[in-house]
Copies of this chain bind each other. A is one copy, B any other.
Amino acid sequence: MSRIDVEWLGRDLLGKWADERLGGRAKAADPKYQRILNQTMEDHRDRVMGQMHELAADGAVRAAFPESAGGDSNHGGNIAAFAELFLADPSLQIKAGVQYGLFGAAILHLGTADHHERLLPDVASFKIPGAFAMTEKGHGSDVAAIGTTATYDADAQEFVIHTPYPGAKKEFLGNAALHGQAAVVFAQLITQGVNHGVHAFYVPVRTPEGELLDGIVAHDDGFKNGLNGIDNGGFTFTNVRIPRHDLLNRYGAVDADGTYSSTIDSPGRRFFTMLGTLVQGRVSLDGSAVVASKAALSIAIRYALQRRQFNQSSDEKEELLLDYRSHQRRLFTRLAKTYAMSYSHEVLLRKFDGVFSGAEDTPESREDLETLAAGLKSLSTWHGLDTLQEAREACGGAGYMGENRFGSWYEDLDIYTTFEGDNTVLLQLVGKRLLGDFSKQFKGASAASLAQFAAKEFAGRAAAQVGLHVVRQDMHDMGNPARAARELRNTKWQTELFEDRIEVMVADIAGRLRKAPRDDKAKAAAMFNDEQNQLLEVARAWAELQQLNAFNAALERMPEATRKIMTYVRDLFAMTMIESHSGWYQANGLLSGQRAKAVTSTIERLLQRIRPHAEDLVDAFGYGDDILRAPIATQAEGKRQAEAMAHYSELRESGDLPVTEKELRAKAKAEEKARAKEVAAAS
């Protein structure tokens, strides 16, 4: 039997920034950074605050900063290390994310040389803990609509930061309730009577002793569903004055006299460019969700390889949980998705590093990066929750014990689905981009006529495919299930099926939207709203294709035996996705009924093929007992089951195992039968 080269696969999974990732992993294995369960929120906050100082002293967390602030502008490596920190304590990870990835990164990316020199060193050393004050009580996803104002006073050469109504209070900010001494505050920049839209300002909020500065009121969000090691809260500003030079002025500046200038002419594009610099949060959450999924599956699969329950196939020995086909389906389908997401995360990470290092920094590559981050982060954070829950249940009551980790990870990861961009909102961005790209294909003619043309074109193509595809599939498969199964496992066939789904859906949506009036905003919005669920669906489909492509690219570089087995895993990923969209595929004539059934039976066969490699597949993730810290993932359960079996064997051998009533009855019945036979023979 072929076997996976676990060492090779493990090294490949570490990716381009293997050393940095291993560095992050070493921290996760260090007790001083690890979470202690059953602390009150207050104690947990104190502990994490202490850990932050240790992290700062260690220095690795500021890798993305320039050398002047103690870093080495290593954007990719920084995120690789950061993602692994999830396994120490997600509260520590996110508090570090607030300081370095949001507060610090905003100064880095929205500020200029002066800010970097003046401000970054104290951010890097954690001398100045800071908050990232973007979200308001009234506006989270719709950042452009925030209410806080920064009005320029030319006489004083100061900006006046103000909260004009209660809904404009800054809210849900890490470091706001207790520890923040400064904040990057997002506000509407108003100068010379004109509102130039949202800009970021550096605003001191507390003294080093923790006293709030004049005009600033802070509130504490208190106990949350998770991440209680972070002091989330908010600020209300009452005419707080800051010097002109504390506007972070990379994309928009104000002269002493109040004249506004920007390198980006369009206010809309300027806003999105500023927000775009914050994409690293999404990249890192995508990585963290993959880490969480890998860890959860490592625990659940290792447990299922020891735990036995019910004797189905023999009277003496119970079955391993992982030999149940339902257990395999629950865990292996998620394992396959996790591999796909791990490979697509690495693609995203490299793209991110390319843009932020400047190596491949173009408006197009930035846009691509943002779209990819939005799509992947949404799917992986949802997948992380789904996997944690399934893994927990797959371990039964033992999975519910705090020491086995699933629960606290779940509570913490929960918010990853809606912060740094709400998943639903992010998917909508992806969907809009797909629609935009679709119309761009037809440059030249007017937008309306083009959309009409395109819709007809594609609708026609899709309609034509209906018959063709299915007939072709049925002819190909006729009376030859093996041939059908082979075709299902064909890389090109799978990829085209994923692609066709996107093309047909986008064309369908565009076709229906072609009648949207350009002059009636309300009606156009209503028509767009009618398509919202379909748009989200096509965005998911697009992100799934990126995962498949990344998996396929990874297969190409694998040594042969490993590739053979990993191709089963890729197939399981592809079949699982196709099965979940099987209704759509059939209704749109891209999959025959016969072949749809073959997808399900192929999944069953793949589960069996993957079963002997399950341990290797989680070993390659590289998480040992020191990081997982889950007693059920150690060998304790296997030892217990062996003890129980030994106990009964011993009793059986010594003749001390009491006969069961059931056995007695069976024996009596057999004897009676034999007697009846004798009587019959005698008569």
Contact = CB atoms under 8 A, between A and B. Distances in A.
A659 B660 CA distance: 89
A532 B418 contact: no
Given A142-B310, A586-B586, A393 B407 contact: no
Contacts of A585: 583
Interface string A582-610: 11111111000110110000001000000
Nearest to A594: B587
A528 B424 contact: no
A403 interface: yes
A164 interface: yes
A677 to B, nearest CB: 19
Given A267-B665, A582-B584, 19 more contacts: A135-B397, A141-B396, A142-B309, A145-B311, A145-B318, A194-B658, A195-B660, A222-B401, A225-B402, A312-B529, A313-B522, A313-B525, A325-B529, A326-B424, A326-B428, A393-B423, A399-B418, A583-B596, A587-B597
Nearest to A312: B525
A661 B400 contact: no
B414 A407 contact: yes
A584 B521 CA distance: 41
Contacts of A196: 660-661
A81 interface: no
A533 B326 contact: yes
A361 B490 CA distance: 57
A325 B406 CA distance: 33
Looking at A314, A325, A406, the one whose CB has the most chain B CB atoms below 10 A away is A325
Interface string A615-640: 00000000000000000000000001
B521 A644 contact: no
A400 B222 CA distance: 11
A136 to B, nearest CB: 10
A140 interface: yes
A223 interface: yes
Given A41-B38, A167-B643, A658 B190 contact: yes
- Could you say which of A329, A415, A533, A662 has the most chain B C-beta atoms within 10 Å of its C-beta? A533
A421 to B, nearest CB: 11
A273 interface: no
A587 B586 contact: yes
One complex includes copies of this chain to the number of: 2
A644 B147 contact: yes
B401 A224 contact: yes
Interface in A405-435: 406-408, 410-411, 414-415, 417-419, 422-424, 428
Contacts of A408: 225
B588 A310 contact: no
Given A392-B414, A596-B587, A197 B525 contact: no
A194 to B, nearest CB: 6
A70 interface: no
Contacts of A564: none
Nearest to A642: B167
B325 A224 contact: no
A661 B267 contact: yes
A228 B38 CA distance: 9
A641 interface: yes
Nearest to A409: B225
Contacts of A456: none
Contacts of A138: 640-641, 644
Given A582-B583, A641-B167, A418 B402 contact: no
